[in-house]
Amino acid sequence: MLEVSNLNAWYDESHVLHGMDFTVGEGEVVTLLGRNGAGKTTTLKSIMGLVPNRKGSVRYRGQEFISARPDVIGRAGLGFCPEERGIFASLTVHENLLLPPIVAPGGLTIAEIHDLFPNLQERARSPGTKLSGGEQQMLAIARILRTGAKLLLLDEPTEGLAPVIVQQIGRMIAEIKRRGFTVLLVEQNFRFVSQLADRHYVVEQGRIADMITAEALPGKMDDLHRRLGV
Ligand code: ATP
């Protein structure tokens, strides 16, 4: 579904991605793991066209998007949930949900979203600012599900959240997968992703250093903890 090859990216003179190569298959949950500064966020932003200076290849469903604008990439069916979540404080939960444009058929209806996230239904009239961190994260993911995007790029969805909320987010991602969505996930929370993902890519200094399947993961735990410094 997504093929990233020889992806390079720069911020001004600073060369941050040095030939990222990886794939995400339809219906998979795939993670990018790595130390701070390894280039995980930059990879997601580069896929979405948000890093102006990038080279290589980003193919989605066979089509090349390396030179495309972010709005074109969004309309092709890629939805990005940034680390800062982007909830508008002056809008209600419901208004935040309705904000992103529908890009393709097959997105969840508001009723389906409320089914999946009962909290958001209860909070529909609350302003974005009144939400807890976990509710904001759920809202940020929910509104992408509504747009019809089929590939979700999630940047550290569990960051700063309490363990019980992290579990909720995990159940939600599992349910999203069950419904046929594909997820590329950047995470530091290793325990969280180890139960969730089909495959893991280890990112080191702007490159893929290793690929680990869910089956191979138990045997690689020590090695991974050392590499990730966790
Ligand atoms: P983290 O978990 O800390 O976000 P990461 O693996 O996602 O880590 P990136 O955020 O992609 O890493 O950062 C990769 C490198 O690019 C780092 O050295 C970082 O300092 C640098 N960088 C990130 N954003 C910018 C920016 N807007 N301008 C300049 N340099 C940046």
Site to substitute for ligand 1 among 42, 154, 156, 193, most atoms within 8 A of C-beta:
42
pLDDT per residue over 170-185, tens digit each?
Answer: 989 999 999 999 999 9
Instruction: Work out the average pLDDT over 128-149.
Output: 90
Average pLDDT over residues 82-104: 88
For 93, residues 6+ apart whose C-beta sits below 8 A from its C-beta are 120, 123, 124, 125, 126, 127, 128, 131, 135, 139
Which ligand 1 atom sits closest to the C-alpha of 206? 14
* Residue of 10, 13, 14 to mutate, ligand 1, most atoms within 8 A of C-beta: 14
Number of helices (H), then strands (E), belonging to the chain: the values are 9, 10
In 155-214, alpha helices (H): 163-178, 190-194
- Give the chain's length: 230
At 62-75, the pLDDT tens digits run 999 999 999 999 99
